[in-house]
């Protein structure tokens, strides 16, 4: 009887232990899965990872960056000649830049064997950048054409005097035309480079485009120095004349009379509209020059990782809804960001200059003379820059302008 009771007790204990063991193991597995969703897949992407990537959502790949295997392992872990790393682990390390790569060339980009962000840059360049850039330029031209049809050419309202006044001296005109001429060449060659494959190759063929593309690249790289020199000259010549003043508010209040005949707000040498163009040229010109120099000397002058770090530090990127910007980039990625920024600034710059060219040529009577001969009709100067005319006369002792 005692033996039977003892056997029953032991059987009960073993049965409970057998049930508890699987339950404990299952509970531990479930806890591990909740803590690390990829525990069940051995670190591989989960179904949710794959679906999120297909939806275009941001996916955390930090676990993959850390799964690079080991460079060497004991005999029990060796996998052929790879040591403790499998093929996928080796390529993963190369992709994320964690592999220990040794190269004979010590250039900054030599050790980058796989550039992970290249396709994103290419698709953005071929898609949104080209599409919206073309819409911006085309829309600007259409808007100017509509404005011309509705407003017509802005004429000199008062009777012409036949007398002229010096608007710009020869050095000022030299700086302007150096800056403007080089900009036009850079804009044309840049558009050829960006739209060549999609627009020009179908029209002219690959052989003809190859020659044009080579010439455009050479011109773009070398004319850039003339552009930067012209930028320096106009900054030196005109910064003091483009400091905002109270008269600019009056000019802006009536839009400079651009939409109304016979309206001529007071202005000094440069009115508020011209000041906006000037400061736009300065800001955009310096920005496009910085990214251009970075592209002229590849991998030598990276700018964006440090810029993004500053934006993240002050919370600017979060305020703009951009999240946390990358602060570590491969050398090629730095160049890709520089190229994209260079092109975006160029599109905005060209749209602004289209408006400037319009007003300085067919849009306003007498405006081109200011940069053509440097001499403008006295009546034109009085209507558009009356305060400046008074300053010129005062500086000459109230003498009348020369015939």
Q: Is residue 349 part of a domain?
A: yes
Q: Is residue 242 part of a domain?
A: yes
Q: Is residue 24 part of a domain?
A: no
**What's the number of CA atoms in the CB half-sphere (13 Å) around residue 44?**
5
Going by pLDDT thresholds of 50, 70 and 90, the confidence category of residue 331 is: confident
Structure tokens, 5: 């009771």
Q: Is residue 66 part of a domain?
A: no
Alpha-carbon dihedral 128, 133, 136, 141, rounded to 10 degrees? -140
Residue 361 and residue 371 in contact, taking contact as beta carbons nearer than 8 Å: no
Domains held by the chain: number: 1
Average pLDDT over residues 238-251: 95
Q: Taking the mean position of all CA atoms in its chain, how far away is CA 139?
A: 20
The predicted structure's pLDDT at residue 268: 94
The predicted structure's pLDDT at residue 73: 46
The predicted structure's pLDDT at residue 403: 39
Q: Is residue 132 part of a domain?
A: yes
Average pLDDT over residues 244-257: 94
5-14, 31-40, 99-108 — which one is most confidently predicted on average? 99-108
Structure tokens, 137: 């330029």
Distance, in Å, from the CA atom of 255 to the CA atom of 240, rounded to the nearest integer, reads 23
Average pLDDT over residues 310-323: 88
Summarize pLDDT for 266-296 with one digit per residue, the tens. Answer: 999 999 999 999 999 999 999 999 999 999 9
Average pLDDT over residues 317-333: 86
Q: 170-195 vs 130-151: helix axis angle to the nearest 10?
A: 130
The predicted structure's pLDDT at residue 36: 61
Distance, in Å, from the CA atom of 105 to the CA atom of 111, rounded to the nearest integer, reads 8
Structure tokens, 76: 């029990």
pLDDT at 265 over 90: yes
The predicted structure's pLDDT at residue 396: 78
The predicted structure's pLDDT at residue 401: 47
Distance, in Å, from the CA atom of 191 to the CA atom of 202, rounded to the nearest integer, reads 16
Q: Taking the mean position of all CA atoms in its chain, how far away is CA 21?
A: 60
Query: Higher model confidence: residue 18 or residue 224?
Result: 224
The predicted structure's pLDDT at residue 89: 67
Q: Is residue 92 part of a domain?
A: no
The pTM for the full model equals 0.77
Q: Is residue 280 part of a domain?
A: yes
> In this structure, what CATH number is given to the domain that contains residue 332?
1.20.950.20
The predicted structure's pLDDT at residue 177: 97
- Residues listed for the chain: 403
DSSP letters spanning 154-169: B---SPP-S-EEE-S-
Summarize pLDDT for 54-106 with one digit per residue, the tens. Answer: 666 666 666 665 555 555 444 444 445 555 555 666 777 777 666 777 777 77
Mean confidence (pLDDT) of the chain: 83
Q: Residue 337's closest CA among 296, 285, 294?
A: 294
Distance, in Å, from the CA atom of 312 to the CA atom of 318, rounded to the nearest integer, reads 7
Minimum mean pLDDT among 79-83, 146-150, 184-188, 391-395: which range? 79-83
pLDDT at 142 over 80: yes
Q: Is residue 18 part of a domain?
A: no
Q: Residue 199's closest CA among 213, 218, 186, 187?
A: 213
Residue 208 and residue 253 in contact, taking contact as beta carbons nearer than 8 Å: no
Distance, in Å, from the CA atom of 241 to the CA atom of 272, rounded to the nearest integer, reads 11
Average pLDDT over residues 130-139: 96
Per the listing, tokens 């992407």 go with: 45
- Could you list the residue range(s) of the whole structural domain that residue 350 is in? 118-395
* SS3 of the chain: helix, strand, coil, percent, to 5: 65, 0, 35
């Amino acid at each position: 009887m005692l033996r039977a009771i003892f056997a029953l007790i032991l059987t009960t204990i073993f049965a409970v232990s057998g049930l508890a063991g699987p339950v404990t193991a299952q509970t531990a597995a479930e806890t591990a899965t909740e803590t690390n969703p990829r525990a069940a897949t051995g670190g591989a992407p989960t179904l949710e990872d794959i679906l999120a990537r297909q939806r275009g959502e941001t996916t955390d790949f930090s676990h993959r960056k850390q799964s690079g295997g080991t460079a060497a392992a004991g005999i029990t872990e060796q996998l052929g000649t790879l040591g403790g790393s499998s093929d996928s682990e080796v390529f993963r390390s190369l992709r994320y830049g964690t592999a220990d790569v040794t190269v004979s060339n010590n250039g900054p980009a030599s050790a980058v064997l796989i550039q992970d962000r290249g396709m994103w840059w290419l698709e953005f360049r071929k898609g949104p950048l080209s599409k919206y850039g073309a819409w911006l330029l085309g829309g600007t031209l259409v808007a100017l054409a509509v404005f011309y049809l509705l407003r017509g050419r802005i004429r000199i309202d008062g009777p012409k005097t036949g007398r002229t006044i010096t608007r710009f001296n020869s050095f000022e005109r030299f700086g302007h035309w150096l800056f403007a001429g080089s900009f036009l060449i850079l804009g044309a060659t840049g558009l050829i480079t960006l739209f060549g494959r999609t627009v020009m190759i179908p029209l002219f063929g690959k052989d003809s485009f190859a020659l044009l593309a080579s010439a455009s690249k050479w011109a773009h790289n070398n004319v850039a120095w003339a552009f930067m020199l012209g930028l320096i000259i106009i900054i030196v010549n005109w910064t003091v004349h483009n400091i905002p003043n109270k008269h600019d508010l009056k000019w802006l209040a009536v839009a400079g009379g651009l939409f109304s005949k016979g309206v001529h707000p007071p202005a000094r040498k440069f009115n508020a509209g011209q000041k906006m163009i000037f400061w736009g040229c300065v800001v955009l010109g310096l920005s496009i020059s910085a990214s251009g120099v970075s592209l002229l000397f590849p991998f030598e002058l990276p700018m964006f990782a440090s810029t993004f770090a500053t934006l993240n530090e002050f919370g600017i990127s979060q305020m703009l809804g951009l999240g946390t910007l990358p602060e570590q980039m491969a050398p090629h990625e730095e160049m890709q960001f520089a190229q994209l920024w260079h092109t975006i600034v160029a599109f905005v710059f060209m749209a602004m200059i289209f408006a400037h060219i319009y007003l300085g040529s067919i849009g306003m009577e007498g405006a081109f003379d200011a940069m053509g001969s440097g001499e403008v009709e006295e009546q034109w100067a009085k209507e558009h820059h009356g305060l400046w005319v008074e300053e010129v006369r005062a500086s000459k002792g109230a003498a009348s302008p020369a015939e």
